[in-house]
Each structure stands twice: as structure tokens, then as C-alpha cells.
Amino acid sequence: MTSERNTWQKVLWLLLAYATLAIGLIGAFLPILPTTPFLLVAVWAGSHASSKFKWWLLRHKHFGPGLRDWYRDNAIAKPAKIAAVTVISVSWLIIILSGSPTGVIVFTGLLFIGCISFLLSRPDTRKIQR
């Protein structure tokens, strides 16, 4: 019974990992959908089911370096911070210019300020001594 349960747990973890990986890959091409949070969940979920999946993603040519920085040091590279802050700011500007209700503008503004504050509070990968 335990072996069957472990098998199902691994299947569920892998399903979550692949689903968030797919959403993250879609987010790489759609500016309104973030990539990194979904890839971080994919690494986390994948590590519960398969170290092979986890290391494949951490060694990925395009996504690996940023994921490794976060996984090791909770660090974000300066270019990634700049890109994220720019996309968030432009998104908020679009919300404002689209004539959204004041409540939506205020709520998203506070949410985006929180996100930007978090991003800027993370160490820069170049400042971490190895």
C-alpha cells in the first residue's frame, strides 16, 4: 500500500511540475504572464518526484542560471530585476490608461508596489561572494 501511495504522490508532484513548467513557458512569450514564479514552483514540485527533473530544469540553458541563483542564494540578477520592474510598471500604466475603476488602480498599484519592493530587496547575483 505504501509503495502504491508513493507512486501516486510522485505522479501528482510531476503533474504539478509539468503544469507549472508549461505555464511558465507560456509566460516566456506572453508579457502579462510571469515566467519565473511558475518555474520556481516547477523546480520545487519536480524535486519531490524526481531529482532528474529538478536538475534538468536547474541546468537548462535559458532558465537554469536564474533558477540556480534563486535556489542557492535567493538572489535575482540585476537585468532580471530591471525587466520585471519595467513590465510591472508598464502593466500598471496600461491599467491606469485603460480607464479602470479607481479601486482597481489602487489595488493593483499596492500589489505591484509590494512585488517591486520584494524584487528590489533580493540580493544581486553579482554582489554575492562565492
Per-residue pLDDT at 17: 94
Q: Give the pLDDT mean for 17-25.
A: 93
C-alpha–C-alpha distance, residues 112 and 89, integer Å: 8
| 8 and 41 inside one domain | yes
pTM tops 0.85: no
Dump pLDDT digits (tens) for 8-20: 889 999 999 999 9
Residue 89 pLDDT level (bands cut at 50, 70, 90) = very high
| 84 and 128 inside one domain | yes
Dump pLDDT digits (tens) for 32-52: 777 888 888 999 999 888 888
C-alpha–C-alpha distance, residues 117 and 88, integer Å: 12
Per-residue pLDDT at 127: 66
| 64 and 89 inside one domain | no
| 57 and 114 inside one domain | no
C-alpha–C-alpha distance, residues 89 and 109, integer Å: 9
The boundaries of the domain holding residue 26 are 1-73
Q: Give the pLDDT mean for 74-84.
A: 88
C-alpha–C-alpha distance, residues 88 and 32, integer Å: 9
| Domain endpoint, select from 30, 58, 73 | 73
